[in-house]
Amino acid sequence: MKITVVGQGYVGLPLALAAAEAGFVVFGLDSDKEKIEKLLEGKSVIEDINDENITQYLKMNRYNPTTDPKSINNSDVVLICVPTPLDSNHKPDLTALIAATTTVGQNLASGTLVIVESTIEPGTCRNLLLPLLVNESKLSKSDFELAYSPERIDPTNKDWGIKNTPKLISGLTENAVNRADAFYMKFIDITYRCTSLEVAESAKLLENSFRFINISFINELSIFFSKIGINSIEVIRAAATKPYGFMSFYPSLGAGGHCIPVDPIYLAHGAGLVGAPTEFIELADKVNRHMPEYFISRAEQMLGEIRDKAILVVGVAYKPNVSDVRESPVESLILGLRAKGAKVLWHDEFVKEWKGEKSSELSDQYQLVIIATRHSYLDLTKIGKAKVLNTSNSNT
């Protein structure tokens, strides 16, 4: 059985290799030629996958990286796993998804099962992607099947991966649900069938909106705790001793990444189209985007004046031990510090190059070190006696 996975990033590559391990012949399709060249050489492009894993399935001809969309026409199942970020106006950006769906439609064969894994607002599969596939393929909507199964990938999570994370399944028809379920059950332990495409689309947004609101809530409270001299981490640990009704969330520079700060905006956008209020999300977004400004004020308190002061920001990725900088709040922090005249450099050996700059070495040449993302490799003894502002604990 042949499948094509469109998009070979943090979602598509692990999915492609999991399917290859299950015995499928997999085509990993991506428009990024440089990425495909690396994959063809057996070089991983994400932290979760090692080179040996890729090489193994390349040699077995079960994983075939390609930029040629013709693989779609020969596939039984086609999965769309491309990013759905926010645009420069902080609104949903479906550019990549529309381009990928157009390509799929132009190469779609009758009888194919198309599964969308990209995060989208309710109604997108039915009202946008289905008509697009029909128009581009010149097929009737009864000539192929459309399913939606939102990705649940958490990079570097050692406890929960593709196999043991329950998979939501939905489809335009019962047959689409059955086929998608049968496909995923080849390499995923538990599947859950949703009653409609819209339920699955909404569930994905709810998952991360819940996290977004609570992260922003604890960030706001951490400011209060700091002002009255209480360690916010100690407060959270104390509250977490309650065995029911509480979940721990921790303060930070702000939520980053491709899901938590993005998915709630998709949910709010969909709600806005029908005139439904989403005040919690709007307030959480405001708090989240304020956090870099708050820590800039903390830096000013610690140094008195930050103009011409040497500051090192440690970690620009959105979470520890990854190179992913999507929606990283560190960008706002650095820009804000520089706007006030500070001489800011950054260090991150996972990212290495970012925004036309290269990672600087850890050293004792800085007047302030701001720990934004604490990678496990960091040796902070190298910063000597520099003042430290830790964004994950507002009292340090």
259 belongs to the catalytic site: yes
Q: What pairs with residue 31 in β-bridges?
A: none
Please, what sign has the CA dihedral across residues 191, 192, 197, 201?
negative
pLDDT tens per residue across span 195-219:
999 999 999 999 999 999 999 999 9
pLDDT of the residue at 258: 86
Say what the pLDDT of residue 155 is: 86
The hierarchical CATH code for the domain 2-195 is 3.40.50.720
DSSP 155: T
pTM value is: 0.92
Which residue from 348, 351, 353, 390 is spatially nearest to 368, judged by alpha carbons? 390
**What is the chain's mean pLDDT, rounded?**
95
pLDDT exceeding 90 applies to what percent of the chain? 95
pLDDT tens sequence across 94-105: 999 999 999 999
Mean pLDDT of 327-344: 96
Q: State residue 67's pLDDT score.
A: 98
Q: What percent of the chain has pLDDT over 70?
A: 99
Average pLDDT over residues 332-356: 96
The band of 392, judged by pLDDT with boundaries at 50, 70 and 90, is: confident
pLDDT digit string (tens) for 112-135?
Answer: 999 999 999 999 999 999 999 999
| Amino acid at site 120 | I
pLDDT above 60: residue 261 = yes
pLDDT band at residue 48, thresholds of 50, 70 and 90?
confident
Query: What's the start-to-end Cα distance of the chain, in Å?
Result: 55
Question: Of 81, 125, 194, 259, which is the active-site residue?
Answer: 259
Task: Give the pLDDT confidence of 238-257 residue by residue, as tens digits.
Answer: 999 999 999 999 999 999 98
Domain ranges of the chain: 2-195, 211-396
Average pLDDT over residues 354-363: 95
Residue 396 reports pLDDT greater than 50: no
pLDDT (tens digit, 9 = 90+) per residue, 53-72?
999 999 999 999 999 999 99
Domains 2-195 and 211-396 share a fold: yes
Nearest to 254 by CA among 344, 332, 154, 334: 332
pLDDT at 395: 46
CATH, range 211-396: 3.40.50.720
**Scanning the structure block, which residue is given the tokens 């008509």?**
131
Q: Please tell me the number of Cα atoms within 13 Å of 19 on its side-chain side.
A: 28
One DSSP character per residue, 271-337 reads HHHTT---HHHHHHHHHHHHHHHHHHHHHHHHHS--TT-EEEEE--SSSTT----TT-THHHHHHHH
